[in-house]
Amino acid sequence: SSWWKSVEPAPKDPILGVTEAFLADPSPEKVNVGVGAYRDDNGKPVVLECVREAEKRLAGSTFMEYLPMGGSAKMVDLTLKLAYGDNSEFIKDKRIAAVQTLSGTGACRLFADFQKRFSPGSQIYIPVPTWSNHHNIWKDAQVPQKTYHYYHPETKGLDFSALMDDVKNAPEGSFFLLHACAHNPTGVDPTEEQWREISQLFKAKKHFAFFDMAYQGFASGDPARDAKSIRIFLEDGHHIGISQSYAKNMGLYGQRVGCLSVLCEDPKQAVAVKSQLQQLARPMYSNPPLHGAQLVSTILEDPELKSLWLKEVKVMADRIIGMRTTLRESLEKLGSPLSWEHVTKQIGMFCYSGLTPEQVDRLTSEYHIYMTRNGRISMAGVTTGNVGYLANAIHEVTK
């Protein structure tokens, strides 16, 4: 029809487009280390035992009603405890405005829209590099973006001094997006001491910190430990925002279960902010999906299922950590002239390999290995079965 003749095909998504290309490749040798989705040592997606058990308990449920616009209050309360702590004073004092969201993406977008509406002149400082969809989210929310230094290519680590300069030079009261743990795509996190310095400088500059915590549990294997950056900021009195997701750490990818929370001055402000978050959700999707929220609540409210979940998260994190060591050692055994120390120094789901886009293209065309063109390797896709093949291919394109 002539209505849409001006519509051009959208560009391939830098991450999800890799999955499409992988699926389309008929080669039996193909390896997918693109999308950040956990795979077991057989390269298969995993449904956690705790989720299977929760499904059994929910089976036959006759409850199919709408959730409120803010989602499942029980799931939200249980989720806040993961981020703020079981005994958080902020939860007790009802100072947190929080709603269930369409996973982490939905939490980031709802916050970006809230920021646009209630801090209309503000912009957002986003790290270089970051999860590619962060730029889309704040762009579509029409919040202007700035960037701040984060990754140091020479050391493949954190460019802490440049980061602190950018924080210092930003106008007072700027909004910053921070990855709470397991930075995507670099796998580089500030140390606890560096987080403390960042928090102090944010205090001095009266900046707003928005934490995207999409991988709680995947950095260290311990969700409480992975929330350390958030706890430091809370101890220092910051009124922060947090995006949480159960996509990776509970394997609920397609269930789209997440949470957006904003720490407010007092209960009255929290009620007002929550009502406005609901007001934003209503014309967007009205209310969030039921099933995933019920799975999360069933698991987290039952001490046995929760401890099973904690064990399973650690197993996933430990498998990834083990693959880091194996990949690095395989590359070193091949006599690679490059240092691969960063493969084991970086943490979480991703390794920022340092491969150039051209080298990545060769891995795909010559070896049927799929990763994002920024050289990010989803370590979750690395298995004892493919790590040798992967190391050899990386060696061949980098020697």
Ligand X SMILES: Cc1ncc(COP(=O)(O)O)c(CN[C@@H](CCC(=O)O)C(=O)O)c1O
Joined tokens for residue 382: 């690395």
For the segment 119-138, give every residue that binds ligand X (CB under 6 A).
131, 133
Task: Determine the straight-line distance between the first and last CA of the chain, rounded to whole angstroms.
Answer: 53
Q: What share of the chain is helix, strand, coil (3-state, %, to 5)?
A: 50, 15, 40
* Stretch in the footprint of ligand X (CB under 6 A) among 4-12, 45-53, 98-106, 261-269: 98-106
Amino acid (1-letter code) at residue 352: Y
* Catalytic annotation, pick one of 189, 248, 274, 340: 248
Residue 179 vs 319, nearer CB to ligand X = 179
Joined tokens for residue 62: 């006759």
Residue 264 vs 323, nearer CB to ligand X = 323
Beta-bridged to residue 241, according to DSSP, are 210, 262
Instruction: Name the helix (H) or strand (E) containing 175.
Output: strand 175-179
Amino acid (1-letter code) at residue 48: L
Beta pairing class for 350-352 and 376-378: antiparallel
- When binding is defined by CB under 6 A, the residue of 70, 71, 104, 217 that contacts ligand X is 104
Beta-bridged to residue 126, according to DSSP, are 147
* Stretch in the footprint of ligand X (CB under 6 A) among 53-61, 245-253, 266-274, 330-338: 245-253
For the segment 199-238, give every residue that binds ligand X (CB under 6 A).
212, 214
- When binding is defined by CB under 6 A, the residue of 15, 91, 296, 363 that contacts ligand X is 15
Whether 274 is catalytic: no
* Catalytic annotation, pick one of 116, 131, 138, 309: 131
Whether 13 is catalytic: no
Whether 195 is catalytic: no
| Dihedrals phi, psi of 333, to nearest 5 degrees | -65, -30
Residue 134 vs 228, nearer CB to ligand X = 134
In order, the DSSP letters of 222-277 are -HHHHTHHHHHHHHTT---EEEEE-TTTS--GGG-EEEEEEE-SSHHHHHHHHHHH
For the segment 253-292, give every residue that binds ligand X (CB under 6 A).
253, 258
Decide if residue 72 touches ligand X (CB under 6 A): no
> Nearest distance from residue 380's CB to ligand X, in Å?
9
Residue 112 vs 214, nearer CB to ligand X = 214
> Nearest distance from residue 258's CB to ligand X, in Å?
5
20: left (phi over 0), alpha (psi -120 to 50) or beta: alpha
CA–CA separation, 152 and 134 (whole Å): 20
| Dihedrals phi, psi of 185, to nearest 5 degrees | -100, 0
For the segment 141-200, give every residue that binds ligand X (CB under 6 A).
179, 184
* Catalytic annotation, pick one of 113, 166, 189, 212: 212
Summarize as ranges the residues that interact with ligand X (CB under 6 A): 15, 35-36, 103-105, 131, 133, 179, 184, 212, 214, 245, 247, 253, 258
Catalytically active residues, by annotation:
131, 212, 248
